[in-house]
Structure 1
Amino acid sequence: MEIKTVSFIGLGALGILFGHHLSKILPKENVRIIADENRIQKYKSEGVYCNGERCNFNYMSPEEECEPADLLIFCVKINGLRKAIEAVKNQVGENTIILSALNGITSEAIIGETYGMNNILYCVAQGMDAVKVDNKLAYDNMGMLVFGDKEPDIISEKTKAVADFFEITGVPYQVDTNMSKRLWGKFMLNVGVNQTVAVYQSNYGEIQKEGLARDMMIAAMKEVIAISEKEGVYLSEEDLHYWLDVLSTLSPNGKPSMAQDVDAKRYSEVELFAGTVLEYGKKHGIATPVNQELYDRIKKIESEY
Structure 2
Amino acid sequence: MGIKKVSIIGLGALGILFGNHFVKRLPKGDVRIIADRYRIEKYKREHVYCNGEPCDFHYVTPEEPCEPADLLIFTVKYEGLHDAIQAVRHHVGKDTIILSALNGITSEGIIGQVYGLDKILYSVAQGMDAVKVGNKLTYDHMGMLCFGDQKPGIISEEAKSVAAFFDKIDFPYEIDTDMNKRLWGKFMLNVGVNQTVAVYKSNYGEIQREGAARETMIAAMREVITLSEYEGINLTEADLNYWLSVLATLSPEGKPSMAQDLEARRHSEVALFAGAVLYMGNKHRVPTPINKQLFDTIKSIENTY
* TM-score, with structure 1 as normaliser: 1.00
2:211 aligned residue: 211
Other-structure match for 1:276: 276
2:3 and 2:226 map into 1 onto residues whose CA distance is: 40
The aligned counterpart of 2:40 is: 40
> 1:148-196 CA distances to partner (integer Å, 9 max, x unpaired)?
0000000000000000000100110000000000000000000000000
Q: Measure how far apart 1:93 and its partner are.
A: 0.5
Secondary structure of 1:14 counterpart: helix
What are the residue-to-residue correspondences of 1:170-209 with 2, within 5 Å? 170-209=170-209
**Paired position in structure 2 for 1:292:** 292
Residue 76 of structure 1 is matched in structure 2 by 76
2:201 & 2:268 partners in 1: Cα distance?
13
Residue number in structure 1 paired with 2:121: 121
**Does 2:13 match 1:13?**
yes
- Measured in 2, the distance between the counterparts of 1:304 and 1:119 equals 42
SS of residue in 2 equivalent to 1:73: strand
Using the alignment, how far apart are the partners of 1:77 and 1:176 within structure 2?
A: 24
Residue type of the partner of 1:230? Y
Partner of 1:233: 233
Report deviation, 1:87: 0.4
Deviation at 1:113, TM superposition (A): 1.1
C-alpha separation in 1, matches of 2:262 and 2:141: 22
Alpha-carbon distance, 1:106 to partner: 0.1
Runs of 4 or more off by more than 4 Å in structure 1? none
Q: How far did residue 136 of structure 1 move?
A: 0.2
1:133 Cα deviation after fit: 0.2
Shift of 1:100: 0.1
Q: TM-score by structure 2 length?
A: 1.00
Partner-residue secondary structure (3-state), 1:272:
coil
Consecutive unaligned residues of structure 2, counting only runs of 5 or more, are none
Superposition pairs for residues 91-110 of structure 1, below 5 Å? 91-110=91-110
- Post-superposition Cα deviations, 1:237-280, rounded to whole Å, max 9, x if no partner, equal 00000000000000000000100001111000000000000000
Q: CA deviation at 1:285?
A: 1.0
**Aligned mates of 1:66, 1:271 — CA distance in 2:** 35
Distance 2:153 2:6 in 1: 26
Aligned-partner SS, 1:267: coil
**What amino acid is aligned across from residue 59 of structure 1 in structure 2?**
Y
Structure 2 letter corresponding to 1:33: I
CA distance in 2, matches of 1:26, 1:200: 41
In percent, how many aligned pairs have the same letter?
69
Alignment partner, residue 168 of structure 2: 168
Letter in 2 for 1:65: P
Q: How many residues align?
A: 305
Residue 145 of structure 1 aligns with an amino acid whose one-letter code is L
Partners of 1:269 and 1:206 lie apart in 2 by 21
Deviation at 1:11, TM superposition (A): 0.2
- Aligned-residue Cα RMSD (Å) equals 0.4
* Structure 1 counterpart of 2:253: 253
- Residue 2 of structure 1 pairs with residue 41 of structure 2: no
